[in-house]
Structure 1
Amino acid sequence: MSDAPPTNAYEPPKVWTWNKESGGRFAAINRPIAGPTHEKDLPVGRHPMQLYSLATPNGVKATVMLEELLELGHKGAEYDGWLIKIDGEQFSSGFVEVNPNSKIPALMDRSGKEPIRVFESASILVYLAEKFGAFLPVDTKTRAECFSWLFWQMGSAPFLGGGFGHFYAYAPSKIEYAIDRYAMEVKRQLDVLDRRLGEVEYLSGGDYSIADIAVWPWYGALAKGLLYGAGEFLSVQDYKNVQRWTDAIAKRPAVQRGRMVNRTWGDPASQLHERHDAGDFQTRTQDKIGEPAKE
């Protein structure tokens, strides 16, 4: 094989400039600057927690956490789950005020004298765990392990989402080098996870925790072939310990509810576009209200 670069190899310019026509699924909304594109206030409901989100893996972390807290009887975790479509809604002035990075999920805790904003999914998990004293180990060793796996997920998921997912599913053309590079890294990550779960039931080494809540929406979905349709491509069935852990978490009632909130695709019975009351799961899913899906 020749080491010579292909004749159509891209040569970066000395100074990069933004090409609005660069292609890809999200080309219409991607931009190299921050800040709002339009003025629009966020809605505010009646509950202490106001969540602005979409049921992507990062969004599911927040809704699962809130539903798990409610399952334990923490009434202060009652929340309004507002749908934020990532078609430009994340650049409204109201949303940027809650999250200057314009990414879901974003949380406003209105339970005190002054509202507290929390953005970044791991930050939301830690904030809620500390506020309610749940799903965060107390002893130093297990707590440290929990944080290590929580931040492992935050550091690893960009390779899975922005790397592998982008080039495998969303890029305007298939680039063998990019797909191979990120597929190798994702399989390495799955092996890291599988080895750990061969040693322990849950990631911290203790009980189910925010580490599991963070990792499951990404790697659990990948293990079941639900992420990017890449299950067969990545041979996810080979990771037996990940499969066991994924199935166990999927059986939790709070997880089943949490993954429905702000969901706008799939089976209409699994879609609860917005959650404002615990009874909404029985009365407001898309199969019951008959409204077209919000895309």
Structure 2
Amino acid sequence: MIELYTWSTPNGRKASIMLEELGLPYRVIAVDITKDQQHDAEFRKISPNGKIPALLDHESKDASGQPRRLFESGNILIYLAEKTGILLPESGEERTETLGWLFFQMAHLGPMVGQWHWFKNAAPEKSDMAIKRYREESLRLLEVMNAQLEEVPYLGGAHYSIADIACYAWAKTAVEELSEEETEAEVVSGLNPLLNWLKRVGARPAVIRGMQIPDDQQKEQAATRSSLRESLE
């Protein structure tokens, strides 16, 4: 059994979509980042940087005989793909392309869209310079994806992969927010390969299910427990 520690963010949904695509049995433990539960000492034993998602794989043991911990979303996607032999080519150009777009998301798409969202919606002091910078960079990254998707149906090439899973929720978030911006909406509406890819990936049953994790009941459990240890016992 796999335990998934997650919340309803684009990073968290990478892991739940992946698990749904693979059909692996897993248990969800919601970590409410709006209440700083990611800083719980028990959670930090699983995710040293205090970030979701994280996994405990009870089918695989670490050197001390404990369930193997997996932290950092890209690491989780690669681990699960290699564990099952699915959604990551074993070798060749499509593998390097897939990994390239996976790291594109982790190094660029996620951080830029995340910073834009924070400065736009959560920063205690508004910074027009920061909002403009991260909005424009988010749009540029979508245009980079769009250029790739003009050539191939999926980011890694001919086949759906962990690169698409990694980028989907972040690109969806960016497109939705940019579509609300009067100055950017027209540009976004012209990114047809990207928009078609979002529809195609978003229609996959596993993606639909994964985007709903954690569900309302799992969030309620996070709200009522006194510590993460309750979920571990």
Q: Supply the distance in 2 between the matched residues of 1:239 and 1:90 (Cα, whole angstroms).
A: 36
**Structure 1 residue aligned with 2:60, among 112, 135, 145?**
112
How does 1:57-206 map onto structure 2 within 5 Å?
A: 57-70=10-23, 77-86=24-33, 87-113=35-61, 114=65, 115-156=67-108, 157-161=110-114, 163-206=115-158
Counterparts of 1:256 and 1:109, CA distance in 2 = 24
Alignment map for 1:184-263 (pairs within 5 Å): 184-223=136-175, 225=176, 229-233=177-181, 234-235=184-185, 236-262=188-214
Instruction: Give the superposition deviation at 1:204.
Output: 0.5
For residue 277 of structure 1, what is the aligned residue in structure 2? none
Whole-Å Cα distance in 1 between the matches of residues 19 and 193 of structure 2? 26
In structure 1, what is the Cα distance between the partners aligned to 2:132 and 2:141?
Answer: 14
CA distance in 1 between partners of 2:99 and 2:145 (Å) = 15
Please tell me whether Structure 1 or Structure 2 has the larger radius of gyration of its CA atoms. 1
The one-character-per-residue Cα deviations of 1:152-199 (angstroms, maximum 9, x if unpaired) are 0001111110x2111111112332211111122111101101111111
**TM-score with structure 2 length normalisation?**
0.86
Q: Sequence identity, in percent?
A: 41
Aligned to 2:231: none
Q: Does the 8 Å CA contact 2:29/2:222 hold for their aligned counterparts?
A: no
Name the CA shift for 1:293/1:89 in 2 (closer, same or farther; >3 Å): closer
**How far apart, in 2, do the equivalents of 1:90 and 1:187 lie?**
30
**TM-score relative to the length of structure 1:** 0.69
Per-residue deviation, 1:258: 0.6
Consecutive unaligned residues of structure 1, counting only runs of 5 or more, are 1-47, 71-76, 263-270, 275-285
Equivalent pairs counted in the alignment come to 214
Correspondence for 1:56: 9
Which stretches of structure 1, 4 residues or longer, exceed 3 Å deviation after superposition? Answer: 291-295
Which secondary structure does the structure 2 equivalent of 1:110 belong to?
Answer: strand
Secondary structure of the residue that 1:123 maps to in structure 2? helix
Please report how far the alpha carbon of residue 112 of structure 1 lies from its aligned counterpart in structure 2 after TM superposition.
3.0
* Cα distance in 2 for residues equivalent to 1:185 and 1:248: 25
Q: Any idea what SS the aligned residue of 2:3 has?
A: strand
1:294 Cα deviation after fit: 5.0
Q: Which residue of 2 aligns with 1:265?
A: none
Unaligned runs of 5+ in 2: 225-233
Query: Following the alignment from structure 2 to structure 1, what is the Cα–Cα distance between the partners of residues 82 and 129?
Result: 43
Aligned partners of 1:154 and 1:240: how far apart in 2?
23
- Are residues 107 and 193 of structure 1, via their aligned partners in 2, closer, same or farther at CA, if it must alter by over 3 Å? same
Write the distance in 2 (CA, Å) between the matches of 1:166 and 1:220.
16
